Each structure stands twice: as structure tokens, then as C-alpha cells.
Structure 1
Amino acid sequence: MSPSDTSQPRRYSRITVIKLLLPSLLGIFIFFVPITLSGHTTIALDHMVTGARSLLGEGSGLYAMAMIIAGGFYPLLSGTWRESLTSGVFTVLKLIGIPVAGMALTGWGPDFLHTPDMLPFLFDKLVIPVGLIVPIGAVFLALLVSFGLLELIGVLVQPVMRPIWRTPGRSAIDAVASFVGSYSIGLLITNRVYIAGHYSAREAAIIATGFSTVSATFMIIVAKTLDLMSVWNTYFWLTLLITFAVTAITVRLPPLATMDDTSEDGEPVAAKAPTLSASVALNFKEGLLMAISILPSIMSVGLAGLLVAKYTPFFDWVGWLFYPFVAIWGLEEARQLAQASAAGLAEMFLPALLMGDAGFVARFAAGVISVSGVLFFSASIPCIVSTRIPLSVGRIVIVWFIRVALSLLLAVPTAMIVNAIG
């Protein structure tokens, strides 16, 4: 055999490695490397979204309105509103989101809805950025999730998955994919694997309530709302660490610990990486569907949550249950943070919205809670209820309470350390 023959397999191997490595490295750069443009330092994806909004100008509001209308009517056109009572209820809430968004866009309606902390805040500071960042982010998430990076992470952490989180090795990929991708897609995958018998009821419930949190693109909105982009990498990785640490504890407590744990426990067969164009197209489609699904719910449920938080004592009452978990650290804004954390049950952005003017420690902790709580009624809870995973709303709320309490215990001292280090 000639030297050229012996070197051929090695050359093709290098090409394959490069094809897998370059997209992943580009994805890491876009999501995690801060760059400075026009005196503003943030990650590349945030710069892209800012540029897209500048190009759209006044049209950004019309774009968001179109997405909300599409999201409101999509369940009716696709027939998903018939799947369950919960699906039907949230279809109604999405439809309500259309006239609410119309009021935000036109200025029509009662004056108290147009105060800066109500409809203008929801529409301008939340809905428009989310409507842009989710589809744009989904395109670049393809670089992170489709070319071997997640599988590599999954292989590396397989030995620790069952001892720590009591789930099989394959769930490592589900866990990381949900965190850097989409909780809705993550839940669909988990549901399929559960129906196939490869996850037990307990394992599927652990993944759904502990790993299927909001994506990195949503975390950027939270960080921007709380003015945390200057510490983006610190915030992102510590939030990931706290989220998974809380999950490791909740899996050992009722109601998750008492669920059925029988399964075939099969492992997946590795699949060939898709082409870049196919992966980008698929992720963009999923990003659009996710955006139109969440935007009308943000307008209706988010507004309801803000109204309840501002004009009723409900979250104040619930917040007192969380107060000891914050007060133990001596934080001056303990009561406000506890009550804002309680509001996260309605919508994951509410803790960030309510704590936007607080001190650094309270803002950082609120940013962690918004993500590590995982469960909220405007999106993730109805997604879980619509699957075959045997989790009732009551069980989900109990898990949410445990998660928020534990998250506060960890997030507040972590934020104090970050603040001390500077």
C-alpha cells in the first residue's frame, strides 16, 4: 500500500473533525464571547438582535403583533387546542393576548394599563426582544446542538447522571439541549422517549421539571432586563450550576422520589450530524413556533401577573413562604426578592421585571430564580401537562415551590460572592 493510501483515512478523519468542530466553536463564540461594538460590550447574538431591531425601526412593533396574532390562532388551525383541557384554556389565554398586544401597540385602553411598568414594559422590553431573539438565536443554536458538542458533553457526564440526578446517561443530552436550546423541544423529546419505554415515569418527570428550563436566548433577555450583561458568562454558568444542583436535591424529595421508576432504560443509537442548511432550517422553524407560542401568553398571563403583583396582596402572601430562605442571609431586600420569586409561578420573567431596580445581589439572585425555578404557568407548565408524563398540576406546583426555596438558598450567597469579587 502506498504512503498516500495509508494517509487517506487519516485525512478524511481530520476533515470530519473540522466539520464538527468549526460549527461548535462558532456557536460558542456567538453565545459566550463578549465583543465591543460602538462602545457597547455584549455577546454577538445580542448585537445581532439590537441590529435587527434598529433595522426594523417602528416596524418592530408590527412584527411582534403579527407573531402574536399567528400564535393566538395557531392552536385553532393546528387542532392542538383539543388535546386537553389545559391546551384549551391556554388557547383562550393566547387569543386574549391579541387584543392586549393591540392595546400596547396603539395606546388604546385604560390609562392604568399604559403606565411604564405595565403594557409598555411588557411589549417594548420583553415581547419585541423575545420575538426577535428566539428565531435568530434558534438559527445559531443549531451550531451548538447539531454538530456533536452536546453528544460530547453527554458522553463526558454519563458516569455522573444516575448517581447525582437518578436519570440514565442519555438524559445528559436532553438536559443540556433543553438548557441551551428549547424547553418545548426538550419536552417533546423527553415525552417520545418516555412513551417508547426508555424513561421511567420518575425519570421523565425529573427531566421535565428539572432540566427543561428556558434557553440561553431567553436568559439573555433576563440578563438585559436586570442589567447583568456585564457579567453574562458568570451569570450563565452559575445559573446552570444552581439549576442542576437544585434538581439533584429535588429528585430525592417527594413528589418526584415516590414516582414509578420502571423502564427499559435503553440508550440511543448515535445519529449522523445533519447538514448545516438542514439543521439551520429546522431550528429556525422550531424557533418561530416557539416564539409565536410564547409571545401571546406573555401578553395575557404576563399582564395578569403584573396586575396581581401591583394591585393585590397575593404574591405578597405567597412570598412570605419564601422569606426565611432569603432573610437567613441578611439581605436588605429579602421581602421584595421573596415576593418577586413567588410571582415567577405566573411568568418566568416576572422576578426580573419586579427586581429591575434592586441592588446587584437581589438582581443577580432574581435572574437565577427566573431560570432555576423552571416551572411557570405562561408556558412550561401547560407544555408538561400536554405530554404523557404523569405529572398533575398540583405535583408540579409542589416541585416549583421546592425548587424556588432551594434556589434562593443557593442564589443569594452566590450573588454576594460575585458582588464581593467584583
Structure 2
Amino acid sequence: LIMPRIPPLSRKMNTYVTEEADDINEEVPDEHNIFTYGYAQAVKRGSKAKGLTDFFKQGGQNILDMWMGVAPIVMALGTIALVIAEFTPFFTWLGMPFIPLLELMQIPSAQAASETILVGFADMFLPAIIGASIESEMTRFIIACLSVTQLIYMSEVGGLLLGSKVPVNLTDLFIIFLERTIITLPIITLVAHLLF
């Protein structure tokens, strides 16, 4: 609800990727409501399907393209990020500005939790790996929820977005990651305080 209304996403053109798609009319005719029109459009689109064999063939091609194009990037970035996180103080330094915020939100083990906040940009599972030794269940809950809601991980989603026709660059992705972190952290912390 919030992200599309703030930069950098709010500054992106509201157009389709292909020029042919720009001619699509999304207005709902008077004789339909949004649900009946959506159903009619789905049936119309389904009638153009070539069959079950072509469906699985095209799906298999898409899967292979993803595996061959994205898997090496995922493994390389994930490994590099894990090495940096485990053997250097890099993410500790990056997390230091978050310590006062986490302490203000009364999150136990704020210093240990701060190290996991920005490491999520590299890979979704790194915060859980780094935060596994934290004793507080509440802090581990916050770390786990935050790592999922941050959504932009360079080892997976970020690599896919940069390789797609979606008009975002690395700077946009990092800004989106930070915004999602800042927006979801207070919500997750509030839920954690209610649960624990």
C-alpha cells in the first residue's frame, strides 16, 4: 500500500513493458462488475491456450531459463555475502546506526540484532543464520519476520529484477530495501511485543 506511492517506485512510468500492451483497456464495461469482467477476461484468455503439452513445455523452458540464468548468481552472491558476514566486521559496522532505534523499540540484544538488518540485502537466509545464536525469542522472531518482509535480496529477487525488463537499477533496489525495512520494522516490533 505504501511502497508504490513513495519514490523511487512512484517516479516510474505507469506503462507496460511492451508497446503492444499499452493499448490494453482496463475500464470495466457498464454491464459487468469487476469480478464478472475479470472472470470473462480470464475465460477469453484461457480459450487462447494451445493445450496441456504446450503449457508444460513452455513452463519447463521458463524453469530452465531461471535455473541456468539465476542459480549461478544466487550461489555466488550468497556465498560471498556469507563469507563477508562471518569473517569481517562489515555488517556490524553497517548495523551500528540501527542500535539506538532498536533500543528505543525495546528489542533485547539490540546490538546483535542490528548486524542482521542490512545483511538481508545480500540474502534472505543470512539474518537467520547470524541471529541463530541470539537467546531472546522475541529478537529472533523480529529478525525472521524482517528478513522475509524486506523482500529485496540480491542473491534472488534482486538478481531477477536486474535481469528483467523492469526499469529498476541497483540503487533503486537498495532504496526499496531500506524503505521496506523502515516501514515494516515498527509493525513487526509491535506484533512481537504483543506476542512475547
**One of 246, 249, 268 as aligned partner of 2:2:** 249
With over 3 angstroms needed to count, the CA separation of the structure-2 counterparts of 1:360 and 1:401, relative to structure 1, is same
Cα offset for 1:403? 0.9
Question: Quick check: which one's helix share is greater?
Answer: 1
From 383, 390, 393, the equivalent of 2:167 is: 390
Alignment length (residue pairs): 172
| In 2, Cα distance between equivalents of 1:331 and 1:380 | 28
For residue 105 of structure 2, what is the aligned residue in structure 1? Answer: 329
Amino-acid identity (%): 24
1:321 CA displacement: 3.4
Unaligned runs of 5+ residues in structure 1 are: 1-247
Q: What's the CA shift string for 1:195-250, capped at 9, x where partnerless?
A: xxxxxxxxxxxxxxxxxxxxxxxxxxxxxxxxxxxxxxxxxxxxxxxxxxxxx222
Residue 344 of structure 1: SS of its match in structure 2? helix
Instruction: List structure 1 segments (4+ residues) > 4 angstroms apart after TM superposition.
Output: 262-265, 273-295
- Give me the whole-angstrom Cα distance separating, in 2, the residues matched to 1:251 and 1:317: 30
- Say whether 1:312 aligns with 2:88: yes
* 1:312 maps to amino acid: T
1:418 is matched with 195
- Give 2:42's aligned residue: 270
CA contact under 8 A between 1:301 and 1:346: conserved in structure 2?
yes
Deviation at 1:399, TM superposition (A): 1.1
What's the CA shift for 1:307?
Answer: 1.7
Contact 1:325 1:405 in 2 (8 A): no
Distance 1:363 1:282 in 2: 41
Q: Distance in 1 between matches of 2:89 and 2:68?
A: 31
1:407 equivalent in structure 2: 184
Match of 2:150 among 368, 373, 377: 373
Partner of 2:123: 347
Helix, strand or coil: the match of 1:368?
helix
Aligned equivalents of 2:52, 2:195: Cα separation in 1: 38
CA distance in 2 between partners of 1:342 and 1:397 (Å): 10
Offset, 1:402: 1.0
What TM-score does the superposition give when structure 2 sets the normalisation length? 0.71
Q: CA RMSD in A?
A: 3.0
What is the CA distance between 1:342 and its match in structure 2?
A: 0.6
Matches within 5 A, 1:158-169: none
Match of 1:297 among 73, 83, 86: 73
CA distance in 1: counterparts of 2:101 and 2:59, whole angstroms:
39
Cα gap change, 1:287 to 1:261, in 2 (>3 Å)? closer
Structure 2 residue runs without a partner (length 5+): 17-21, 27-37
How many angstroms apart in 1 are the aligned matches of 2:14 and 2:62?
Answer: 31
Amino acid at match of 1:251: P
